[in-house]
Structure 1
């Protein structure tokens, strides 16, 4: 069982973790938000979910007790449990912060609807944002979402991983190909610690990152094995989940099916499986060549 994450934890003289108080199947004990820096002005990494009074109180208590100002809010990605709280914090707990996020697509200038007068400033890969005692470097790591970023604290070689790597379990993703590239990018950063968006600190990160990469490769191989051993039969995502994810709680099967779909999409593009449409439903078979499906 995972160690309980306190509502407020001073992790170092530079980092205070404030738990988002929004527990759930996908959020674990809640969204971790991090107040970073040593001076008057600080950076908040992620803002939790919208309308969570308990989280807002804890963050307000920290801001007041530390006598600090939230100068920047860095959002790792667009999911509501990371950006939703911006509305509640802006102009109150955070008086007039700059809100930073990466674009979801190059041409999209308004990919997050935040109420006036809140405006989004766009992050770029390699950008550095500094306050006294802390320099955060931005690394664009799409896959979980197209706009996902991780942040390295240069002073301590700590990686804030958002939802790319979790403190427990594995992550879901929108695109497997880019997600795998992002995992390898993180591996090359060689962080000393990972502070995730959900779950406890990862104190030995290199084996964890390698496990994530190996796990996805293993899942892909398991999918191929099921299809190869049942030549001529067609399976949908949930059929494969019930065979492969036997140790996963049934409540998490929809998320597992979501991941399996992305594996199948990747394997179809690679012509390792073929997609067939049976009575209006996409199913997959093992094949040397693929046919087209509307994936």
Structure 2
């Protein structure tokens, strides 16, 4: 993976008057240039969104960005290890409460192309859909968006129309949907939910800001529906296993990523099974007559 050059790791970038961004030094195939932590507010108190990995240099960069302001809330969109582990040491350093998604820990049950879950995450307050946290000149409202994980939240900055989308919507890549916790039907419903909103800009945890959110969400929904049609076409010739299907569906993909791609195929198959369009026979999957 080739990353953009001269990335300002550890330095605060002001991306709009109420929002600063600090990039963690954890680039990879699934974090792109790294986890982007956002500091919201420029008054007496601020919120820190997705504090990222428990890396001392990144925590120091967050604290330097916050400066003399009080951290009113440490907020996590979900609990993968590239998003939430710094919450605990940041709370220990500042006394700030951890507010946001619900705790969730699962063992890894298959090849992943994203991080495993953070077992250290312990929120002081869990936000339900529509609940908010406010500070000096800012209000962040929870938008429940399960799918990538069952506990995923987006956070809407009411004053400016910005939406912090975590891993739910990213401009550089589609979100990983990996069962058992990743759920394709929930993910599609969450995309439809965002489509009904009128957010001005998305700030994802990885990759550049999304300046055309409505257009991107439409495209993402179309992409997933196209993948679903691919799955159904693969089964038209008879029952197949996921390892049979992946090379045909992901032509040109590095074989080292076949296992991770298979998780996405599995997510589609489970959704289709719940809709009574396919059924499984052992490791193989087949079309039902109604499909």
Give me the TM-score of the superposition, normalised by structure 1.
Answer: 0.85
CA RMSD of the aligned region, Å?
A: 2.1
Query: Which of the numbers 175, 178, 189 marks the counterpart of 2:197?
Result: 189
**Partner residue in 1 for 2:140:** 136
Q: How far did 1:241 drift? A: 1.6
Change (3 A) 1:81 1:289: same
Which 5+ residue runs of structure 1 have no aligned equivalent? 106-110, 291-295
Deviations 1:171-197 (A, max 9, x none): 012001111100011111121111001
User: Aligned partners of 1:157, 1:113: CA distance in 2, in Å?
Assistant: 32
**Partner residue in 1 for 2:65:** 62
Q: Is the 8 A contact 1:271 1:288 kept in 2?
A: no
User: Aligned partners of 1:261, 1:180: CA distance in 2, in Å?
Assistant: 15
| Structural mapping, 1:79-94, within 5 Å | 79-92=80-93
| Structural mapping, 1:1-295, within 5 Å | 3-4=4-5, 5-7=7-9, 8=11, 9-50=13-54, 52-64=55-67, 67-92=68-93, 95-103=94-102, 114=120, 119-173=123-177, 174-228=182-236, 230-231=237-238, 234-277=239-282, 282-288=283-289
Q: Secondary structure of 2:83's partner?
A: helix
**Partner residue in 2 for 1:293:** none
Change (3 A) 1:2 1:186: farther
Q: How far did 1:289 drift? A: 6.3
Q: How far did 1:139 drift? A: 0.8
User: Aligned partners of 2:118, 2:175: CA distance in 1, in Å?
Assistant: 22
Deviations 1:78-133 (A, max 9, x none): 111111111221222xx11110123368xxxxx97548xx6521111101111112
**Partner residue in 1 for 2:110:** none
Residues 246-255 or 135-144, more deviating: 246-255
User: Aligned partners of 2:254, 2:173: CA distance in 1, in Å?
Assistant: 12
User: Aligned partners of 1:112, 1:245: CA distance in 2, in Å?
Assistant: 30
Change (3 A) 1:283 1:176: same
Q: How far did 1:2 drift? A: 6.2
The number of residue pairs the alignment matches comes to: 271
Which 5+ residue runs of structure 2 have no aligned equivalent? 105-116
Q: Is the 8 A contact 2:162 2:202 kept in 1?
A: yes
User: Aligned partners of 2:160, 2:253: CA distance in 1, in Å?
Assistant: 35
Q: Is the 8 A contact 1:104 1:146 kept in 2?
A: no
Q: How far did 1:74 drift? A: 0.9
Give me the TM-score of the superposition, normalised by structure 2.
Answer: 0.86
User: Aligned partners of 1:240, 1:124: CA distance in 2, in Å?
Assistant: 38
Change (3 A) 1:239 1:202: same
Point out the structure with max Rg over C-alpha: 1
Residues 142-151 or 251-260, more deviating: 251-260
Q: Is the 8 A contact 1:235 1:284 kept in 2?
A: yes
